[in-house]
Amino acid sequence: MTQNSHIRSELDRSLGQVRDILLEMSDVVADRVDEVTAALLERDVERADLLIAEDDELDLLSHQAEQLCIEILLREQPVAGDLRAIVAALHMNSDIERSGDLTTNIAKAVGRLQGAKTDDEIRQLILQMADQASFLFHKAAEAYRELDGEKAADIDQLDDVLDDLHRTYISTVIDKARQNDLHPQQTLQLALIGRFYERIGDHAENMGERTRYIIDGWTSERAGAERAQRRSESADAVAKPSRGLALIDRRAEQRRIDATRRDFVANVGHELKTPVAAISLLAEALIGADSIQSDDGSTHSGNTANTVDREDLANHLDREVRRVEAIIDDLLELARLEDPGATDPIAHEMFAVDEAVAEALESVSGLARAAGVGVTTQGVPSEISIRGDKRQIVRALVNLLNNAVHYSDREAAVTVRVETLGNDVDITVTDSGVGIARPELERIFERFYRVDPARSRQSGGTGLGLSIVRHVAENHGGRVQVESVLDQGSSFSIHLPLSVEATGDADDADDADDAHANS
């Protein structure tokens, strides 16, 4: 056997191991969907707790698949087709692992729904969604195992069935809530369960797309690019030759802007839909809480239980309103940061870095205490100053600290470190929390992108915090970087340039101030 054939054989063996792990993970997820649904419908809390504990086994398989892909990239000599297989495997690994997390979320809901009186219609819809989600995962695994492009393409249409079931399910849950058949907390929990099943189907659809990518390089993004190219060529055919290039460029740019706007509007609508729906349900329940019917058919008005229910509903309503306010506030802040004409010369002044750090720490101190997380500082020199918008810098640090606290366990530690490197100052926020998987790192600064959507929304996150951090850094001539290891923690660093005043001696600083004042 020649050296090249030996390398090829080793590469095929490694790729086969990755495929086998992913197929095993797919089977595990499909089985978990069935098991968690049985536990949910039977209100079997012990069985649900076992499924929650067993999620670690899926995480272990996911870690093994990721490590194998990294070893292949480092040690083997993959060509284009092999690279597609590795990229697809990393994406599939993420989709399967997230689906496992969603089944865990359903398992956690079992205990929270104790005492809920769900009728046969809701139970039947849950069973139908679970069957379809499990079927989609088996179908995706089958298409991947056989590298069958037609089966992979069919998953897109099959997922529409689950989407329709989800819409029917949500409508039914809302109707039951309006009829006072469900407590608001139970209504929200049931609505989330439906969303979890629907998201599992989306991940199976993603696996189908990745299988098609392995076969011939097809992706939904590539299909969109090809449609845009055909439209561009059609526009070029009818344009005047002397203006053809400018016309194509202008239309391509306009299409890009329109696509960005559509995506943005869709994301905003999606983010606001859940809390607004919750507010609507809670408001209706609050209005009807004056008259609560007991199991024996009698009606009690103004009693202690009713007062407690009203307070509970009001608290839920307040939380959802605050969530909407947070999203809107972050959207407005992001829009202001992205507007090049919105800079305020008065706001760009010299300020001490340690003061900005202190303000940020004070803002998150209450959250950190409640979460049992310690926040400390290292090497924060008092003599370092920068020129810029202090409010923006403080907000960026607060966003990083909030994330660090939310994604850390109790009694964990979060550290803020400041150090100067040449003419730059680095402000680094480090935690020992859940960490971020390698495939996620390139996307975490996108608007509304969440590594763990369930945990982020549970903590009140808007999905815009890191986008704001990136824009703040860029507006100050700097950048933001992240280093993270899954299950070991993350470090986010904002690199900012020091001004002349901060780097020179006292005389140079005075001269620089005079020059700035006279300019």
pLDDT over 50 at 292, yes or no: no
pLDDT of residue 434: 85
CATH of the domain at 167: 1.20.58.220
* 148: pLDDT strictly greater than 70: yes
- Tell me what the mean pLDDT of segment 62-66 comes to: 92
Spatial CB neighbours of 183, under 8 Å, sequence gap ≥ 6:
116, 285
- The average pLDDT across 102-125 equals 86
268 and 412 housed in the same domain: no
**CA-closest candidate to residue 516, choices 492, 504, 500, 503:** 500
The model's pLDDT over 301-347, given as tens digits with 9 standing for 90+, comes to: 444 445 546 666 666 666 666 666 666 666 666 666 666 554 444 45
Q: Are residues 382 and 244 in the same domain?
A: no
413-421: strand order across its sheet: 374-378, 413-421, 424-431, 489-497, 479-485
The pLDDT of residue 502 is 45
Q: Is the pLDDT of residue 16 over 50?
A: yes
pLDDT of 248 > 50? The answer is no
Closest of 447, 443, 440 to residue 486, by C-alpha: 440
Looking at the structure, do residues 81 and 15 belong to the same domain, yes or no? Answer: yes
pLDDT category at 20 given cuts 50, 70, 90 is very high
pTM of the model: 0.48
Q: How far is CA 185 from CA 243, 282, 319, 446, in A?
A: 61, 9, 13, 31
Q: Is the pLDDT of residue 455 over 60?
A: no
Could you tell me which of 383, 376, 378, 333 has the C-alpha nearest to residue 355?
Answer: 383
| Structural domain of 92 | 3-218
pLDDT at 461: 57
Q: Under DSSP, is residue 194 helix (H, G, I), strand (E, B) or coil?
A: helix
What's 431's domain CATH number?
3.30.565.10
If we measure between CA atoms, which residue out of 131, 130, 106 comes closest to residue 43? 106
Same-domain check for residues 245 and 208:
no
Alpha carbon distance 154, 144 (integer Å): 13
Do the beta carbons of residue 15 and residue 34 sit within 8 Å? no
Q: Please state the rounded mean pLDDT for residues 107-128.
A: 86
Report whether 156 contacts 205 (CB < 8 A). yes
Confidence class of residue 147 from pLDDT cuts 50, 70 and 90? very high
Domain-located, residue 447: yes
- Bridge-based pairing state of the strands 413-421 and 374-378: parallel
In a domain, 70, yes or no: yes
Residues 361 and 282 in one domain: no
pLDDT value, residue 517: 37
Average pLDDT of the segment spanning 135-154: 93
Let me know: does 130 contact 197? Beta carbons within 8 Å. Answer: yes
- Whether 383 is in a domain gets the answer yes
Residue 512, domain member (yes or no): no
Higher pLDDT, 247 or 137: 137
Does one domain contain both 390 and 462?
yes
Helices 3-42 and 120-146: angle between axes, nearest 10 degrees: 170
Residue 499: the pLDDT is: 65
- Which range is least confidently modeled, 82-86, 198-202, 322-326, 450-454? 450-454
Decide which of 218, 237, 259 is a domain's last residue: 218
What total number of domains does the chain contain? 3
Same domain assignment for residues 496 and 368: yes
| Residue 389 parent element (H or E) | strand 385-389
Q: Give the pLDDT of residue 253.
A: 52
The average confidence (pLDDT) of the chain is 77
For residue 240, the model assigns a pLDDT of 47
State the average pLDDT over residues 189-202: 91
Q: Which residues sit opposite 300 in a β-bridge? A: 292
**pLDDT grade, residue 217 (50/70/90)?**
confident
Q: For the segment 268-280, what is each residue's pLDDT rounded down to a tens digit? A: 555 555 556 656 6
Number of alpha carbons in the 13 Å side-chain half-sphere of residue 249:
4
Question: Residue 21 is encoded by which pair of tokens?
Answer: 């792990």
pLDDT at 255 over 80: no
Share of the chain above pLDDT 90, in %: 33
The pLDDT of residue 380 is above 80 = no
Which of 279, 312, 342 lies at the terminal end of a domain, its last residue?
Answer: 342
What is the reported pLDDT for 63?
92
Assign residue 460 a region (left: φ > 0; alpha: ψ between -120 and 50; beta: otherwise).
left
Same domain, residue pair 107 and 232:
no
**Whether residue 202 has pLDDT greater than 90:** yes
